[in-house]
Amino acid sequence: MNSFADLISEEVIATSLTSAEAVQKVFGPCNAFTTMTVVECTCTNGDEIMKAIYQSQLNKTDIMKVFNPPEVNEEDVHKILRSVVLANPNAPKLNADFSVQFPAKQGSRTDTQITLLVPRAQLTSKDVNGTRLYSLDVTGEVLKEDQLFENYRYRFDYPGDLKDDKVAVVIDRFLRPADYKARIKVLDPNSNAEAIIEKTVTVPELQDTPEQRKAKEAAAAMLGQIKDDIESNSTRLRIVPLANDLLSGIQHIETLAYGDDIKGVEFYLDGKKIMIKRQPPYTLDLDFGDVPRLHRIRAVAVNEKNEAITGDELVINTGNEPFRVRIVTPRVALNVHGKTRVEMAVNVPDGKRLDNVELFLNDTRLATLFGPPWVQTIDIPKTEGVGYLRVVATLKDEPAQPPVEDLVMINTPQFMEEVNVHLIELPTTVIRNGHPVNDLPQAAFKVLDDGKPVKVTKFEHVDNLPLSIGMAVDTSASMQPRMDEARKAGSQFFAAVMRKGDRAFLVSFDTQPQLIQRWSPKLADVNAGLAKLRAEEATALYDAVVYSLYNFVGIKGQKALVLITDGKDTASKFSFEQALEYARRAAVPVYAIGIGIHATEVDVRYKLSRFCSETGGNVYFIEQASDLGRIYGDIQNELRSQYILGFYPATDVKPGSKWREVSVQVSEGRAKTIRGYYP
């Protein structure tokens, strides 16, 4: 206490009765609804000041730890134990009937389908706010000649209203014909009851089924079609789609080129020409940077006169927005007229129905499609000037969901300057006397872009906007004692915050992040996702931040990510700096909740705080999961008291340029928003 008092100004000391009171005025919480100190709330670099103070306190005790033995990492131990079949002699026993079938083959391997039937009466269900689920964890080993051949793990969830007397666990392993021994552990995570099964399995060799013979014939026909395309000398260029959704770093780009008049291929990344290849194969490696972000790849084929003749375009890292429509081909249409085949792709959210897909040439609607295949041949007249193809998809009986669309420019010059018309949105909270303020007019706000005032072209209060909220829950092994409270508090939070028109998703993370529940407007779906959470293995915190924020790509309006964790990162592929940069680019407020993270864990607290301060969110540190309800109430109040301010950057701000700092000034109180953006 005395060391803290030495840091306080004489002015504060003079207005305080005791040194303890003075310390509380400076280093105590700035209000009853947050754990942030007065220093952090009022000083520009308050988080850095507190980090330095914490570190100095920590250094006093660190020297005493030099001779301590290294601590056992409980998460690593759990990871090893969960990957092998080990019986727990003290666990309640489950019965499980074993059977095996060989229904199909895959190449030279036989589908070995193992079915385990577990009595439902022996299982314990998990209830989350009225949504009940049964769960089973399966760990298995396959031994060949008494040596471990392969191992596997599965998670199974079953609806609570299941009527069958026995719950079926079906495991498919593709094995070559031989004799094996199967060792399987079935665990009910809700009661820790388990069954251990050990059986000998003889895998036979199977002949091709009629369906497989048809598939091989279809593959041969496809190869023949490709051969015919090549021999027909029709001029086409296609970019081979990339395998993964979330891409960063060096990626190999391949193309398929058809036509003798293709003499080279130009490659563009985000509108900038990267290179031209004059000899096949027309491939290259592109660097997408350290963190995933949306990129547009374009390949343009040229003839011997260096004239553009055809091309293709691919957009990556487009997010997991459940309702999307896209023109697949043509993507690069430099000189299109006459009969033209337009292919489209539509992604419809689970449980929703598509009303129609409309295809436009400029402002003229040419076709309305009510079902697949999403293909239409249209007649494009030969005219001067640039035009566009536009496709619009609409859901049935969903007035709250606006239509989505995609657009492709046609008959464009080979080079068109990219114009930055991107609206920058600033989710902003105003705090006055420790409470959010929600009744300020637009005139009360002033936005500065790199220190210069800009015109506010968008001003909305979140009461008028649907809320899109994600929750990322740490399910590493150390969270096991807290999972029940985390599920219960999460369900109560969503029940309180979600209104008609809102939607949410749920991510769990241990050694890697996993999307437990996709975007859904239904509270029951979110509760079902919460019921599936179970704690095991390590903590990939930074990967979870990146993956969770990726789900917001393409999402408009009010957004927020709630992040719950109890410790430092131990397993991420992304570094803290990379995850922080991605959070900056995503511009989604992050509300981080650290459970049981002590004041001496300075680095962990500092990094969680940075995710929040850079994005306009908030950080909370609590000792136990039972305090989550109070924190959720604070977050809910802030989310429903935000403003969305929008502005367009100046014309000299080019896409891809450096990070720009933004700030919001307000006539009364203190404004909190994202710290900046990348154009």
Degrees, nearest 5: CA angle 568-570-574: 100
User: Ramachandran region of residue 184, left (φ > 0), alpha (ψ -120 to 50) or beta?
Assistant: beta
Residues 6+ apart with CB under 8 A from 615: 583, 584, 586, 587, 588, 589, 590, 674, 675
The answer to whether 116 and 168 have CB atoms below 8 angstroms apart is yes
- R_g over Cα of the chain: 29
The answer to whether 516 and 506 have CB atoms below 8 angstroms apart is yes
> What is d(CA 237, CA 254) in angstroms, rounded to the nearest whole number?
11
Regarding predicted confidence, which is higher, 206 or 96?
Answer: 96
Confidence of residue 154 (pLDDT cuts 50, 70, 90): confident
Q: Is the dihedral of CA 432, 628, 52, 615 positive or negative?
A: negative
Q: Which pLDDT value is given to residue 92?
A: 93
Give the type of residue at 370: F
Confidence of residue 392 (pLDDT cuts 50, 70, 90): very high
324 phi and psi, to 5 degrees?
A: -145, 155
Regarding predicted confidence, which is higher, 634 or 612?
Answer: 612
Q: Is 211 helix (H, G, I), strand (E, B) or coil?
A: helix
Asked if residue 360 has pLDDT above 90, the reply is yes
User: Ramachandran region of residue 86, left (φ > 0), alpha (ψ -120 to 50) or beta?
Assistant: beta
> What is d(CA 493, CA 628) in angstroms, rounded to the nearest whole number?
9
Regarding predicted confidence, which is higher, 212 or 201?
Answer: 201
Per-residue pLDDT, averaged over 563-583, amounts to 89
91 phi and psi, to 5 degrees?
A: -80, 145
Dump strand ranges (E) for 160-217.
Answer: 166-175, 178-188, 193-203
Residue-range domain boundaries for the chain: 2-65, 89-203, 233-315, 321-418, 461-677
Q: Which pLDDT value is given to residue 204?
A: 92
- Domain 89-203 class, CATH top level: mainly beta
Residues 6+ apart with CB under 8 A from 144: 178, 179, 180, 181
Confidence of residue 418 (pLDDT cuts 50, 70, 90): very low
Q: Which pLDDT value is given to residue 181?
A: 93
Residue 244, Cβ density class (10 Å: 0-12 exposed, 13-18 middle, ≥19 buried):
exposed
Regarding predicted confidence, which is higher, 265 or 627?
Answer: 265
Per-residue pLDDT, averaged over 507-528, amounts to 89
CA distances from 225 to 219, 237, 274 (A): 10, 16, 32
Regarding predicted confidence, which is higher, 644 or 51?
Answer: 644
Q: Which pLDDT value is given to residue 507?
A: 93
Q: Which pLDDT value is given to residue 219?
A: 59
Provide the terminal-to-terminal Cα distance of the chain, rounded to the nearest Å.
46
Per-residue pLDDT, averaged over 112-140, amounts to 90
> What is d(CA 69, CA 647) in angstroms, rounded to the nearest whole number?
56
> What is d(CA 521, CA 504) in angstroms, rounded to the nearest whole number?
6
Confidence of residue 314 (pLDDT cuts 50, 70, 90): confident
Q: Which pLDDT value is given to residue 608?
A: 93
Confidence of residue 609 (pLDDT cuts 50, 70, 90): very high
The secondary structure of residue 93, as a DSSP letter, is B
Instruction: Give the residue carrying structure tokens 């209830």.
Output: 127
Regarding predicted confidence, which is higher, 250 or 67?
Answer: 250
Q: What is the DSSP string of 481-524?
A: GGHHHHHHHHHHHHHHH--TT-EEEEEEESSSEEEEEEEES-HH
- The answer to whether the 89-203 and 461-677 domains have the same CATH topology is no
**Cis status, amide bond into 281, omega within 30 of 0:** yes
Q: What is the DSSP string of 253-314?
A: E-EEEE-TT--EEEEEETTEEEEEE-SSS--EEEE--SS---EEEEEEEE-TT--EEEEEEE
> What is d(CA 344, CA 332) in angstroms, rounded to the nearest whole number?
14
Regarding predicted confidence, which is higher, 22 or 68?
Answer: 22
Residues 6+ apart with CB under 8 A from 161: 132
- In the chain, what is the greatest distance between 2 CA atoms, to the nearest angstrom? 93
Q: Which pLDDT value is given to residue 417?
A: 46
Q: Encoding tokens for residue 153?
A: 């793990």
Express as a percent the part of the chain with pLDDT over 90.
23
- Report which listed range, 21-30, 166-175, 379-388, is most confident: 166-175
Closest CA to 430 of 156, 671, 674: 671
Regarding predicted confidence, which is higher, 419 or 615?
Answer: 615
CA distances from 364 to 86, 184, 384, 411 (A): 67, 62, 17, 17
> What is d(CA 58, CA 105) in angstroms, rounded to the nearest whole number?
61
Residues 6+ apart with CB under 8 A from 447: 426, 453, 454, 456, 645, 647, 662, 663, 664, 665
272 phi and psi, to 5 degrees?
A: -105, 130
Per-residue pLDDT, averaged over 568-588, amounts to 89
288 phi and psi, to 5 degrees?
A: -90, 10
CATH code for the part of the protein at 321-418: 2.60.40.10
Helix axes of 602-615 and 576-586: crossing angle, nearest 10 degrees:
20
Asked if residue 523 has pLDDT above 80, the reply is yes
26-40, 297-311, 466-480, 594-608: lowest mean pLDDT where? 26-40
Q: Is 548 helix (H, G, I), strand (E, B) or coil?
A: helix
Q: What is the DSSP string of 580-638?
A: HHHHHHHT--EEEEEES--TT-HHHHHHHHHHHHHHT-EEEEESSGGGHHHHHHHHHHH
Q: Which pLDDT value is given to residue 350?
A: 72
Q: Which pLDDT value is given to residue 592?
A: 92
Q: Encoding tokens for residue 418?
A: 């990219």
Confidence of residue 420 (pLDDT cuts 50, 70, 90): very low
> What is d(CA 213, CA 335) in angstroms, rounded to the nearest whole number?
42
What are 653-677's pLDDT values in tens digits?
877 778 889 999 998 888 889 888 8
pLDDT, mean over the chain:
83
Count of positions (residues) in the chain: 679
Give the CA-trace dihedral at 557, 504, 676, 612, to 10 degrees.
Answer: 140
Confidence of residue 292 (pLDDT cuts 50, 70, 90): confident
Confidence of residue 216 (pLDDT cuts 50, 70, 90): low
CATH topology of domain 233-315: Immunoglobulin-like (2.60.40)
Architecture of the domain delimited by 461-677: 3-Layer(aba) Sandwich (3.40)
Per-residue pLDDT, averaged over 51-74, amounts to 63
Residues 6+ apart with CB under 8 A from 69: none
Closest CA to 112 of 174, 70, 29: 174
Per-residue pLDDT, averaged over 45-54, amounts to 74
Q: Which pLDDT value is given to residue 193?
A: 94
Residues 6+ apart with CB under 8 A from 574: 290, 291, 542, 543, 546, 582
Confidence of residue 544 (pLDDT cuts 50, 70, 90): very high
> What is d(CA 574, CA 10) in angstroms, rounded to the nearest whole number?
45
Asked if residue 561 has pLDDT above 70, the reply is yes
Confidence of residue 75 (pLDDT cuts 50, 70, 90): low
Per-residue pLDDT, averaged over 425-447, amounts to 88
Confidence of residue 356 (pLDDT cuts 50, 70, 90): very high
Regarding predicted confidence, which is higher, 557 or 275?
Answer: 275
Q: Which pLDDT value is given to residue 472?
A: 94
Closest CA to 300 of 238, 342, 242, 230: 238
HEC profile for 102-161?
CCCEECCEEEEEEEEEEEHHHCCCEEECCEEEEEEEEEEEEEECCEEEEEEEEEEEEECC
Residues 6+ apart with CB under 8 A from 275: 266, 267, 284
Per-residue pLDDT, averaged over 160-176, amounts to 89
Instruction: Give the residue carrying structure tokens 């407020």.
Output: 589
Per-residue pLDDT, averaged over 286-311, amounts to 85
